[in-house]
Structure formats: C-alpha cells, structure tokens
C-alpha cells in the first residue's frame, strides 16, 4: 500500500500562495482557517526562502496520539483525517503538531474553537463519499475520484509535490539530479560553500 | 518528556486508527486507491495525475457532479495565459479542475488563477445597470440606460463634436472585443481612444518595433527553458507572472543558467536569482549602456551577427563609450565591479534571455531604455535564437491582443498608424466608404492626429494645461479599465466630477463609482470574461480561445451585447456589423483579414479552437505539436501566422528555419538606406549577403514585398496574394533587413541616459538633463525641462516607486472583491527600510502620510523590510476605495464595495511622461513621508 506524502521544494517555491487559494476555493474553507499556508524566511534579505506548509500526514502522527476522544484517525494510505462530529475542539492536537496544522474556526457553538479542521489531502472525511454532509464538513473528496490534491496540482512552479511517497521521491530525485553538478547541486553550499 | 510520551502513544494511536479504518467500511472502500504524484518524466515540470486506480466504491456515485461538462478556457488575470478546466453542472460553474496538460501552465495557477471561479461567483459583482439620481444609486433597466446614454452622447456630439468623447478601452476583453472598441471609436469619429497598454508597455512597443520591426516578446515563456543565462530588469515574475517561473527555474536548474535580477527592490525574483543588482530607479539605460561598453571593450560582442544583421553600430558604440563602469556606478549606484561581473556572466553564458517589465518602461526616457535592452541583445548576438531574445512579459491577460488591435490613440488596428493609407486600408476591410468615414470626424485633419491617451485624457476635461483640441472632453466611457492606475489620481477624480457623462462598463463598480459625486454617471454590468468567448493573445504571441463557461450572471450582459446595444442606439449598426453575423467568430475573421501586418490572418477561429482541444499534443520545449491533428504547428499559432497553413512564428527573427516553417528575418520597415546625422555615414539597412532563411530566393537582404497586386503592398493587399507569393519564394513578406541601433525618428537617436524629471541627484540633472518641453503631445502640452527642478529633492527627499503584489491585479477591483485574496493581502502599505523608519521616528505598522510634489497625499501603513534601501519607498498600486485619508466605502452601490480598500498609490505618483509614447513615469518620482 502506497503512503501519501507532501514535499515542498524550497528551491522552487515562489511564495505565490497558489496552493493556499486552490485549497480554500476548492473546499470552500472559511476565511481565518488555513489548511495550508506559505511561510517566508528572511524576506527581503539575501537567502530569502519560502515553503508551503500544511498537515504533513505524519506516519506516526502526534495528533492521533494525543487526541482524548480518538477523533483523529489514519487511513491505510497514510492520510490523517479528523471526524468533526467526534472532535471536541480541545486543541491538544494543536499543541502536539510540529507544524501548527490544526485549525480552529471562529464563530460556532464552541466559541473561539470549533471542531478541528485541517488538510484532508483532498480526501474528504468519514461521511458518505460526495455527500452534502461530507462536502459541508470537509470539502471535496478528490481522492475518491482518483484525482490529485488541488494544492500540488495547481502549484505555479511544481514546487509542491503530493501523492505516493515513492513517486514523489522519484520526481524529486530526478529534479535534483537534473540540477546538475556544481553550485546548483543540493548540498553543495553546505559541503563546499564559504559560509 | 512530553515528546517521548507522544512517541510512545503515537504507536498506539496508529494501531487504533488502523482498527478504525477497517471498522469503517466507507473509509476502507476509499483506501483501494493507489495514489501517484507523477510527472511528465521527461520534463520534471509537471505534477500531473497518474492515478492508477479510481475509487472502486461498491455502491454510491463515482463522482460528485455526475454528467457535468468540463470546459477548457483561459485564466483572465495575467498574460501567461494559463489553462483552466471549468466544471459546469446544470449551468453552474461548480469547481475548477486542474488543466494538467496545458502546454504553458501544466495545471499551475497563482493564488488569483486558483480562485478564478470567484469572478463568476463573487457577491460583489455589479448586478444591474445603475445610475445616480440625486446622489443615490438607482437600478435601471438596460433599455433606459442605453437610451439615456445614447441620447446624451448624440447631443454632445452635435454640440461639441465627436472628440468630446473619450473611450478608455480594455486589455481585459477578448481580442475581438478590443477590435470592436477601436472600430467603435473610428465609426464614432475620434482618435480619443486608448487602453491600459499606454501605461504598461507602450514604450516597449515603440522602442522594440523601431529597432527590428515588431513590438512584442520575441520568444516564448517555454523557450526561456533553453536560456543559458537570464537577466530580469524591472521585472518580478513571482509576483506578476508566477506561472512563468516554472520555465525560468527550469533553465536555472537544468542549464545552470545564472539569473541576474536588476531592480531597486530585492524582490521575490531576486530571491530566486543568482546575482542581485540594486539599481536606482530610472537609470536602467545607463546600466545597460555600461554593460554594452564593457562587452565591446573586451571584444565579447558577436562580430558576425553585428556585421550581417545590425545597422548603426558604430554610431551606437560612440555614444555608449561614455558609460564606463565608474560612471555607471555614479549614475545607478551599482558598484563598478558588479557591472563588470554581470557583463562577463552574459558574455560567457549565451544565449541570454532578457526580460523587462514596467520597472523599466514607466519612465520619461522609457522608449530609450527599451531600445538599450534591444541593443544589448544585438551586441551579444542573442536575437532570433532559442534561449535568447527580448522576452518582454506583458501585463494583463490580453494586453498583447488589445495592443495588436490598436485600442490606442495613435494607431488603427495592427499598427497601421493614422495616415490616410491606414484609414483607406481599414475602410476596405470594414467595407465602408472612405468619404463616409471622413464625414464622421469633426474635420478630416482630426483623423490623422493622435488622440488623448490613457495617461492624460483627463487634461482634456480639466483644461488646466494647454490642450490642442477644438473641444474639451465632455463624456467618458471607461470600458473594462480600472481607473486608479492613472498617476496623479486625485486630479483624475476631479475630472470625473466635471464630465457631463461618465459610463463605466465593468463586472465590478470600480473606484470610479465611489469617487464620482455627481449625477453624471452610469454603471453598466458587463459579464466577466468567463461568461463570454473570444480569442486572447498571451505574452508569447499565442492566440488561445477563451471559451464561455456559463451564461452572463445577474442582469449583466457580455461586452459584445453591450456594444451592439450602443451601436444600434447610435445609428451606425448596419455599417458596423456589415461583415459580422456570427459573434465572435466573424469578428475574428474580419480582424484577421485586415491585420496582415502582424500576421493575424492565419489564425482562424477553427484553428485556434483546434489548438485548445488538442493542447495536450504540444511539446513543452518548443511548443510544436508532435503528431495529432495539429502536427507541426506551434501552440496558439504565434503571430505572424501568414496563411491558414502556416504553423505560426515561435521565435521572431529566427533565420534558421524557412519562413513557411515559422522563420522570420528582421523586418524592412525603415527604408533601404540611411545617412546618419551624427556621423554622416551612409549605410544599407538590408541584411548582409548570405543572411537569409533557408530556401530564400534572394541570398541576403531584401526589401518588403509590394506591387504583386498593383498599388498595394503585403500589408494592404487584402487578397493576400503578396504574402503567399513571398512565402512561395521562401521569403518573408516583411523583407529581410537589419535591426537598428539608430532610430532617427526619435529625439535620442541612440539611447542615452537622462535623469528622471524628479531626480534625487541635482548634480546629475546638470550632466544628464531631460528633454525640452514638448508641445501638443497627444493633444496636451507636456513639460520636461521646466519640470526638472534640481532643488526639488530638498523638500521631497525619497524616491518613490510602485509595483505588483501577487495577490492583486491591476486596479484591484476584481481581486479586492475575492475573500481569499483579501485574507492574504488586506491592507495597503508602504515598504520602508527599517533604518529609514527609525530615522523618521515611525514604527512598523504605524500610519504615515506620503506626499508628492504635486500635492497628492496618501495615508498608509508602514511595512518595514530590507527589500528597499534607505532612500526608496515602494507602494503596491492595487488599492482603491480611500482617497486623501477618507474612506469612500459608503459611496459604492449597496453590496458592491470591495472587501479590501486602501489609498491608491497613484495619488502620489509624480508628473512625468515618456517623450515618445506619453507613458506615465510612475517608477521614479520623489516624495516626502511623515508620521500620521
């Protein structure tokens, strides 16, 4: 069984937020909830780098471990999902997550923290496939349609890769190999660089 | 401790999760999937779907929108021309699908294109025709709107003459619609028509076309994959053309191509570059002349290319000699050793792809700056080569098409100009009597005079500067053109309120609706471009068919319908639509039959649509279809596409292919011989012996084709026999000439540096003064020398420049109405170096007043960043809805105010216009700043 993974190639990410809006528009995610976001380091300085971050669908997911009501579960293909009907919105997963992925919408019965929302890898949730309820709570279920996640599919520079971790690795390996020898090779500056 | 607890319990959790998966049959069904993030393995560029399995659900639907239709169309934001697959279910656009096999974008979008659907679904769209009655917005019917507008226009025409109307047309409409806008102005009887290209790339078109014949990007975005080095000057693709970056980064990764980024700001592009060159705004020509000088001094120039294909070289070398690396450092602030290093990089890594955008065009010497870039590429021998070229990225999605269609105050469609011959040519195409056309004008002479331009039309209203027109402008139609892109925007607002009639045709109300206090204004809701169809020309000169996704929403009408209503009301519909029955296809055919000069005749609607349907068959590296029904053709039939069998011209000025296969020499447009004023030398302007496309009957330079049909040339022979005759002989209809370093029609025949009108360097004003004032420049006097005051910098000490942010586009009416884009970029701000901020006593995020020498003021938030240096302030120009510190949100029609408002940066952009094209000089002004 394949396991899904994201990979963001920081040499390619241009901080255009295409992934962010692809996700939000595709799943009708409310303003204020960011299943994915782009982080830029050293903006305006030499060495500026950007990276797109969301739930990484960890193989050994801390959020699952800490959830007191077992609302979070992992599919066989590695996609980590939350059952919003079980979630109590406590935020333990938010504390446990190394990436700040869990999101808590405003303005519902839980006050500032509603049921946790996060990246679904475009795989919907535990409701019936393509049901109104699934769409309302989780957005599209593209995986059930045999389609790739929107964020990676629409990435402007193909920085963001998503899918079977083995294939993602192949794509990235080929790309790094293509970057050629010399100063563009990954790790060159680390091994031979001045700083 | 916490960490180890998590680690331990995580194992349990996974097991538990696994149990839940097997217990939940719905989830188990979905785990049949074998996911693959795959790629077009050859390119490494595309993350496409290669899902080897689909959901094998035992029961239930296999897709959410059973029976939906998937419509291929083109994004309406920038000129990259990304593909969109729109999924339409029961007449509703339900979602965007990934156009993974589009040959330019490969499914990619920036944040704007990823939310393209919002153009149709936005609640902020204008829903009904509106007029202002006693200061209140009132919905009216289309019939009433057209009747009242038409009656007022006719009354103004009778009383004041046709030139009392100005039309600002659009780069956001289809090529067919842009053509109708220009045709409308002609039939109305005025050259007072212009569009966004005036402030976008007019100096490029003037500079580049006068160098080698055509004023467009020479290669294509995909061809940039082959560059061995790249230089970006005043261009920031990660913000302005994000999807082009996949091709640019490919060249960096695969070819090890150095990327040199020349910009006053350390931009996102600089973050991806290998060499960042910080330049003082407005000094681009000095830097590039410095590079040329270093290249020649070291003998790195392409001597054979120059000998055979370039003219005026010696005269150019003499002028460039003054720009030593040390002098370049003095003018531009770029260290001399960096100029030397960059010149060496370019010389060692050929071909170089050179890209510039509005950072280089919007200057009073813009038309010189653009020529200096062309000359650099000529000296390096990078023209007409894959991986080389001047890859001038255009702005709006169809600004290339709208420019080609001459929505311009100084030309009829396809750059024919305004001379009698041009009018006669187009009258033949339109099948109308030339004398009737003359009768439409106030007097015949007004047919041949340039109209007011987009940059300064409002001077015709305000009458505060000396104008050269028999009547003030009394009426304005603003059709698909955001208003706050005009410099000195507070003066533009005064003009709105002085007009007798103001008609805004737009899907959104735009800033005009909020600024106009008088009852003279009508808002007509046009449909978005996804609710109509037609061709659009990308920056790569490719024509793509933007298919209609859904019917016009609300009570909006598409642009063609609105034009038809207006033309019928004005009484010249029979003449106007003589050749047009099927809209828009017949318009494509009509404009193609006339636009021979740029080879728009080979792209029939059928061919363009065929390319759309088969876009998967085109190769990523050369954009040629390999097999399939488009076999051998280049994607989008890039112009010139000379005949209905021609494959399009993928790279301009490439003499390695036959003309029939898409080759093209430099155009013979400026005579066959010239004696230069500066040197007294006479030079043949045709290419040297031996330089020609394969199969050419003449083995060297030749003049353009004429008199195949007596009394006509290749541009005016509507039978197209001349074009076909040339191609049959293996030759280009446009001739085979040299590219010019000397443009004898321009005030500076060889480009030189001149200081910006508002310069921070009084010493350099003395050394490099601007031009003398220009009388009657697009019907209004324009100041140069009298505006260049050396002491200005004492009161206005900071350089002000403007630019793009990726989340917003143009004047921002569309993007500031999109909740997700607004969430990403909600506020207008000024970029300020932390050091400068501390010096003037403001903190990051505090409000400041910025004031221009003209008295424009804006109150904006500070954003501390080292992108800018301590002498420069940067403003994004997409905001509107606030003026001089006052919010105008209440003034929009109910429910249509954008989600984000802010001060338009262009309130403080300075006076100053290009000497040739009247491009506004918005990148190099001065200002002062104080804590609010």
Average pLDDT over residues B336-364: 97
Q: How confident is the model at residue B42 (pLDDT cuts 50, 70, 90)?
A: very low
Of the partner residues B243, B252, B820, the one whose CB lies closest to the CB of residue A25: B820
* DSSP state, residue B63: S
pLDDT band with cut points at 50, 70 and 90 for residue B23: very low
Please give the pLDDT value at position B49: 39
Q: In A, which residues are within 8 Å of B826 by CB distance?
A: none
Nearest CA distance, A65 vs chain B (angstrom) = 4
> B106 and A18: CB-CB below 8 Å?
no
Strands (E) in B823-865, as ranges, are: 829-832, 847-851, 857-864
Select from B30, B37, B274, B825 the residue whose CB has the most chain A CBs within 10 Å, as the one to mutate to test that interface: B37
Interface residue B253 vs chain A (CB under 8 A): yes
Identify the closest residue of chain B to A142 by CA–CA distance.
B63
Cβ <8 Å between B254 and A180: yes
Identify all chain A residues contacting B249, using CB atoms and an 8 Å cutoff.
11-12, 157
Stretch B371-383: mean pLDDT: 98
Looking at residue B555, its pLDDT comes to 97
Whole-angstrom Cα distance, residue A80 to residue B235? 41
Residues B179 and B284 in one domain: no
DSSP B121-168: H-TTS--S-EEEETTEEEE--HHHHHHHHHHHHHHHHHHH-GGGEEEE
Q: Please tell me the distance in Å from B641's CA to the nearest CA on chain A.
A: 29
Q: Which of A157, A159, A180, A188 best tests the B interface by mutation, with the highest count of B CBs <10 A?
A: A157
The whole-model pTM stands at: 0.94
Q: Are residues B248 and B177 in the same domain?
A: no
pLDDT category of residue A105 using cuts at 50, 70 and 90:
confident
Is the bond leading into B351 cis (omega within 30 degrees of zero)?
yes
- Inside any domain, residue B238: yes
B269 in the same domain as B362? yes
**DSSP collapsed to 3 states, chain A:** CCCEEEEECCCCCCCCCHHHHHHHHHHCCCCCCCCEEEEEECCCCCCCEEEEEECCCCCCCHHHHHCCCCCEEECCCCCEEECCCCCCCCCHHHHHCCCCCCECCCCECCECCCCCECCCCCECCCCCCCCHHHHHHHCCECHHHCCCCHHHHCCCCCCEEEEEHHHHHHHHHHHHHHCCCHHHCCCHHHHHCCC
A32/B823 touch (CB, cutoff 8 Å), yes or no: yes
Do residue B341 and residue B444 come from a single domain? no
Q: Are B705 and B722 in contact (CB under 8 A)?
A: yes
CA distance B275 to B269: 10
A71 neighbourhood in chain B, CB within 8 Å: none
Same domain, yes or no: B427 and B457: yes
- DSSP 8-class letter at B773: P
**What percent of chain A stands above pLDDT 90?**
73
Q: Which residue, B761, B803, B756, is CA-closest to B234?
A: B803
B246 inside domain = yes
State residue B929 phi and psi, 5-degree precision.
Answer: -140, 140
- Looking at the complex, report in whole angstroms how far the Cα of residue B95 sits from the nearest Cα belonging to chain A: 7
Token pair 């802010």 in the structure block, residue:
B902
A30 touches chain B (CB under 8 A): no
Residue B315's CATH number = 3.40.228.10
Q: What is the pLDDT of residue B698?
A: 97
B299 and chain A in contact, CB less than 8 A: no
Q: Which helix (H) or strand (E) holds B317?
A: helix B313-320
SS3 category, B88: strand
CB contact at 8 A, B746 and B916: yes
| Chain A residues touching B111 at Cβ < 8 A | 16-18, 20-21
Tens-digit pLDDT profile for residues B208-226: 999 999 999 999 999 999 9
- Residue A17 contacts B where some CB pair is shorter than 8 Å: yes
CB B51 within 8 A of CB A146: yes
- Please tell me whether residue B5 adopts helix, strand or coil conformation: helix
User: Nearest-CA neighbor of B55 among A135, A77, A29?
Assistant: A77
Per the structure, the complete domain to which residue B262 belongs is given by 218-379
Contact criterion met (CB < 8 Å) for A17 and B49: no
Instruction: State residue B644's pLDDT score.
Output: 97
- Look at B420 and A165; give whichever has higher pLDDT: B420
Q: pLDDT band at residue A2, thresholds of 50, 70 and 90?
A: confident
B300 — contact with chain A (CB < 8 Å)?
no
Is B57 close to A167, i.e. CB distance below 8 A? Answer: no
User: In the beta sheet, which residues pair with residue B261?
Assistant: B232, B276
Nearest residue on chain B to A140, alpha-carbon basis: B64
Query: Exposed (0-12), middle (13-18) or buried (19+): which is A3, by Cβ within 10 Å?
Result: middle
Q: What is the pLDDT of residue A173?
A: 86
Task: Please provide the CATH number assigned to the domain covering A4-180.
Answer: 3.30.70.20
Average pLDDT over residues B782-808: 97
Average per-residue pLDDT for chain B: 93
Residue B780 lies in a domain: yes
- Note whether ipTM > 0.90 here: yes
Residue recorded with tokens 């013979």: B668
Flag whether residue A37 sits within 8 Å of chain B, measured between CB atoms: no
Q: Does any domain span residue B536?
A: yes
User: For B13-17, B438-442, B467-471, B672-676, which range has the lowest pLDDT when averaged over its residues?
Assistant: B13-17
Under a CB-based contact definition with an 8 Å cutoff, are residues B224 and B382 in contact? no
Distance from CA of A109 to the nearest CA of B (A): 23
Average pLDDT on B340-359 reads 97
Q: Which residue has the higher pLDDT, B25 or A186?
A: A186
Does the distance separating the beta carbons of B11 and A60 come in below 8 Å?
yes
The CATH number linked to B918 is 2.40.40.20
Tokens of B778: 């697009």
B839-895 pLDDT, tens digit each: 999 999 999 999 999 999 999 999 999 999 999 999 999 999 999 999 999 999 999
pLDDT of residue B442: 98
Strands (E), B687-818: 739-740, 774-777, 780-782, 798-803
| Predicted confidence (pLDDT) at residue A28 exceeds the cutoff of 50 | yes
Q: Is A71 an interface residue toward B (CB < 8 Å)?
A: no
Contacts of B48 in chain A (CB under 8 A): 148, 153
- The CATH number of whichever domain residue B509 belongs to comes to 3.40.50.740
Name the residue among A70, A144, A160 with its Cβ closest to that of B55.
A144
Q: Do A179 and B254 touch (CB under 8 A)?
A: yes
Residue-wise pLDDT tens digits, A51-92: 999 999 999 999 999 999 999 999 999 999 999 999 999 999
Q: What is the pLDDT of residue A78?
A: 94
Q: What is the pLDDT of residue A185?
A: 57
Q: Which residues of B touch A147 (CB under 8 A)?
A: 49, 51, 97-98
Q: Could you read off the pLDDT of B588-616 as tens digits, one per residue? A: 999 999 999 999 999 999 999 999 999 99
Interface-testing mutation among A4, A24, A65, with chain B (most B C-beta atoms within 10 A): A65
Kindly state whether residues B140 and B225 are assigned to the same domain: no
Which of A123, A156, A179 faces B253 most closely, judged by CB atoms? A179
Helix (H, G, I), strand (E, B) or coil at B720: coil
Q: Give the pLDDT score at B59.
A: 52
- Whether residue B806 lies within 8 A of chain A, CB to CB, comes out as yes
Residues of A within 8 A of B900 (CB-CB) are none
Q: Look at residues B581, B602, B617 and tell me which one is the last residue of a structural domain.
A: B617
For B61, B92, B885, the CA distances from B483, given in Å and listed in that order, are: 48, 31, 18
Nearest CA in chain A to B27: A126
The pLDDT of residue A107 is 66
- Cβ of A22 within 8 Å of Cβ of B109? The answer is yes
Tokens 């060496």 belong to B344
Count other C-beta atoms under 10 Å from residue B786's C-beta: 10
Interface contact flag, A154 B108, Cβ < 8 Å:
yes
Residues of A with CB below 8 A from B106's CB?
158
CA distance B236 to B252: 16
Query: Among residues B617, B651, B680, which one ends one of the domains?
Result: B617
Nearest to B10 among A1, A22, A60 (CB): A60
Q: Structurally, how many domains does chain B consist of?
A: 3
CB contact under 8 A, B48 and A128: no
A168 touches chain B (CB under 8 A): yes
Domain boundary among B617, B636, B655: B617
SS3 percent helix, strand, coil of chain B, rounded to 5, is 35, 15, 50
* Residue B58 clears pLDDT 90, i.e. is over it: no
Neighbours of B518 (CB within 10 A): 13
pLDDT digits (tens, 9 = 90+) for B230-268: 999 999 999 999 999 999 999 998 898 999 999 999 999
Output the six-digit token pair for B265. 């700001």
Segments of B779-818 assigned E as strands: 780-782, 798-803
User: What integer pLDDT is reported at residue A106 of this predicted model?
Assistant: 73
Domain boundaries, chain A: 4-180
The answer to whether residues A158 and B108 touch, using CB atoms and an 8 Å cutoff, is: yes
Interchain contact, A21 vs B820, CB within 8 Å: yes
Q: Do A62 and B24 touch (CB under 8 A)?
A: no
Measured between beta carbons, the chain B residues lying within 8 angstroms of A11 are: 249, 253
Q: Are residues B476 and B604 in the same domain?
A: yes
Is the same domain home to B291 and B372?
Answer: yes
Residue of A nearest to B12 (CA): A65
pLDDT of residue A182: 54
The closest alpha carbon to B17, from A143, A78, A128, belongs to A78
The pLDDT score that the predictor gives to residue B21 is 30
Contacts of B588 (CB under 8 A, 6+ apart): B175, B176, B534, B535, B603, B604, B605, B608
Q: What percent of chain B shows pLDDT beyond 70? A: 94
How does pLDDT run across B889-912, given as a tens digit for each residue?
999 999 999 999 999 999 999 999
Instruction: Give the C-alpha distances (Å, rounded to integers) separating A68 from A62, B6, B14, B172, B896.
Output: 12, 13, 14, 53, 45
Please tell me which of the candidates A65, A73, A145 has its beta carbon nearest to residue B54: A145
Please tell me if residue A52 touches chain B, with a CB cutoff of 8 Å: no
Interface with chain A: mutation pick from B7, B18, B23, B35, highest number of A CBs within 10 Å:
B35
Put simply, whether B16 touches A (Cβ < 8 Å) is yes
């Amino acid at each position: 069984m394949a396991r899904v993974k994201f990979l963001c190639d920081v040499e390619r990410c241009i901080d255009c937020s295409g992934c962010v809006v692809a996700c939000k528009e595709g799943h009708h995610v409310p303003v204020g909830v960011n299943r994915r976001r782009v982080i830029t380091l050293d903006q305006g300085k030499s060495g500026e780098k950007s990276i797109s971050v969301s739930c990484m669908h960890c193989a050994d997911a801390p959020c699952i471990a800490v959830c007191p009501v077992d609302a979070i579960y992992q599919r066989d293909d590695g996609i980590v999902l939350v059952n919003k009907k079980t979630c109590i919105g406590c935020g333990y997963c938010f504390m446990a997550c190394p990436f700040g992925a869990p999101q808590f919408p405003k303005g519902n019965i839980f006050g500032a923290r509603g049921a946790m929302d996060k990246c679904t890898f475009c795989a919907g949730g535990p409701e019936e496939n393509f049901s109104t309820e699934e769409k309302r709570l989780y957005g599209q279920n593209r995986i059930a349609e045999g389609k790739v996640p929107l964020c990676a599919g629409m990435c402007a520079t193909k920085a963001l890769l998503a899918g079977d971790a083995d294939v993602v690795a192949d794509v990235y390996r080929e790309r790094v190999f293509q970057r050629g020898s010399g100063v563009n090779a990954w790790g060159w500056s680390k091994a031979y660089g001045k700083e | 401790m916490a960490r180890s607890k998590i680690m331990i319990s995580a194992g349990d959790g996974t097991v538990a999760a696994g149990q839940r998966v097997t217990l939940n049959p719905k989830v188990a069904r979905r785990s049949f999937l074998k996911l693959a993030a795959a790629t077009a393995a050859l390119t490494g560029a595309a993350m496409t779907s290669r899902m080897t399995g689909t959901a094998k659900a035992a029961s239930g639907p296999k897709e959410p929108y059973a029976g939906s239709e998937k419509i291929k169309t083109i994004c309406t934001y920038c000129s990259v021309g990304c593909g969109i697959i729109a999924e339409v279910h029961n007449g509703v656009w339900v979602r965007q699908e990934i156009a993974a096999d589009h040959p330019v974008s490969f499914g990619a979008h920036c944040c704007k294109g990823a939310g393209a659907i919002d153009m149709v679904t936005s609640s902020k769209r204008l829903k009904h025709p509106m007029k202002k009655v006693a200061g209140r917005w009132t919905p009216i019917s289309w019939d009433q709107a057209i009747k009242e507008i038409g009656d007022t226009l006719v009354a103004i025409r009778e009383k004041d003459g046709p030139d009392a109307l100005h039309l600002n047309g659009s780069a956001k409409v289809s090529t067919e619609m842009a053509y109708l806008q220009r045709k409308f102005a002609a039939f109305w009887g005025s050259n007072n028509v212009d569009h966004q290209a005036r402030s976008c790339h007019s100096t490029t078109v003037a500079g580049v076309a006068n160098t080698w014949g055509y004023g467009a990007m020479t290669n294509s975005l995909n061809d940039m994959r082959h560059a061995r080095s790249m230089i970006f000057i005043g261009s920031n693709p990660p913000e302005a053309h994000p999807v082009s970056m996949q091709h640019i980064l490919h060249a960096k990764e695969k070819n090890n191509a150095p990327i040199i980024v020349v910009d006053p700001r350390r931009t996102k592009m600089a973050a991806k570059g290998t060499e960042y060159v910080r330049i003082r705004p407005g000094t681009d020509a000095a830097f590039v002349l410095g590079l040329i000088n270093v290249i020649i001094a070291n003998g790195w120039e392409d001597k054979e290319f120059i000998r055979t294909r370039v003219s005026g070289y010696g005269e150019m070398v003499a002028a460039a000699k003054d720009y030593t690396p040390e002098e370049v450092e003095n003018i531009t602030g770029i260290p001399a050793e960096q100029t030397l290093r960059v010149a060496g990089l370019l010389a060692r890594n050929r071909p170089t792809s050179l890209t510039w955008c509005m950072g280089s065009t919007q200057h009073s010497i813009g038309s010189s700056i653009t020529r200096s870039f062309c000359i650099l590429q000529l000296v390096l021998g990078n023209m007409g080569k894959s991986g080389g070229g001047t890859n001038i990225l255009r702005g709006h999605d169809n600004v290339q098409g709208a420019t080609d269609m001459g929505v311009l105050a100084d030309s009829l469609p396809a750059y024919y100009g305004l001379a009698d011959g041009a009018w006669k040519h187009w009258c033949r195409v339109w099948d109308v009597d030339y004398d009737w056309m003359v009768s439409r004008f106030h007097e015949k002479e007004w047919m041949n005079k340039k109209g007011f331009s987009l940059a300064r039309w409002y001077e015709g209203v305000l009458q505060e500067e000396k104008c050269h027109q028999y009547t003030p402008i009394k009426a304005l139609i603003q059709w698909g053109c955001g208003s706050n892109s005009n410099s000195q925007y507070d003066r533009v607002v005064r003009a709105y309120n002085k007009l007798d009639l103001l008609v805004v045709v737009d899907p959104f109300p735009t800033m005009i609706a909020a600024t106009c206090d008088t009852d003279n204004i009508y808002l007509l809701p046009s449909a978005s471009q996804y609710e109509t169809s037609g061709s659009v020309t990308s920056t790569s000169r490719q024509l793509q068919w933007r298919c209609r996704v859904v019917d016009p929403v609300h009570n909006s009408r598409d642009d063609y319908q609105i034009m038809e209503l207006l033309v019928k009301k004005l009484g010249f519909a029979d003449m106007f639509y003589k050749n047009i029955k099927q809209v828009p296809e017949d318009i494509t055919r009509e404009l193609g039959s006339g636009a021979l000069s740029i080879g728009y005749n080979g792209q029939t609607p059928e061919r363009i649509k065929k390319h759309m349907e088969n876009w998967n068959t085109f190769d990523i590296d050369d954009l040629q279809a390999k097999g399939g029904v488009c076999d051998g053709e280049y994607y989008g039939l890039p112009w010139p596409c000379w005949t209905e069998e021609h494959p399009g011209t993928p790279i301009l000025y490439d003499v390695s292919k036959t003309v029939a296969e898409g080759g093209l020499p430099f155009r013979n447009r400026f005579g066959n011989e010239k004696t230069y004023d500066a040197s007294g030398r006479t030079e043949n302007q045709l290419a040297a012996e031996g330089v020609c496309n394969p199969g050419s009957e003449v083995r060297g330079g030749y003049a353009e084709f004429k008199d195949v049909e007596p009394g006509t040339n290749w541009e005016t022979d509507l039978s197209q026999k001349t074009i076909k005759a040339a191609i049959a002989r293996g030759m280009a209809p446009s001739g085979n000439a040299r590219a010019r370093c000397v443009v004898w029609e321009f005030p500076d025949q060889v480009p030189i540096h001149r200081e910006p009108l508002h310069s921070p360097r009084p010493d350099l004003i003395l050394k490099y003064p601007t031009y003398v004032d220009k009388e009657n420049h697009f019907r209004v006097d324009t100041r140069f020398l009298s505006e260049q005051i050396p002491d200005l910098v004492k009161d206005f000490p900071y350089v002000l420049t403007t630019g793009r942010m990726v989340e917003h586009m143009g004047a921002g009416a569309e993007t500031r109405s999109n909740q997700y884009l607004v969430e990403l970029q909600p506020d207008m701000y000024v970029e300020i170096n932390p050091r400068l901020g501390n010096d003037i006593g403001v903190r990051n995020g505090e409000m400041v007043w910025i004031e221009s020498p003209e008295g424009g003021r804006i109150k904006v938030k500070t954003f501390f960043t080292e992108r800018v240096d301590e002498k420069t302030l940067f403003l994004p120009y997409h905001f509107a809805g606030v003026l001089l510190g006052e919010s105008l949100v209440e003034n929009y029609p109910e429910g249509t105010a954008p989600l984000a408002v802010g001060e338009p940066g262009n309130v403080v952009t300075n006076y100053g216009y290009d000497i040739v094209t009247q491009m506004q000089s918005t990148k190099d002004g001065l200002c002062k700043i104080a804590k609010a």
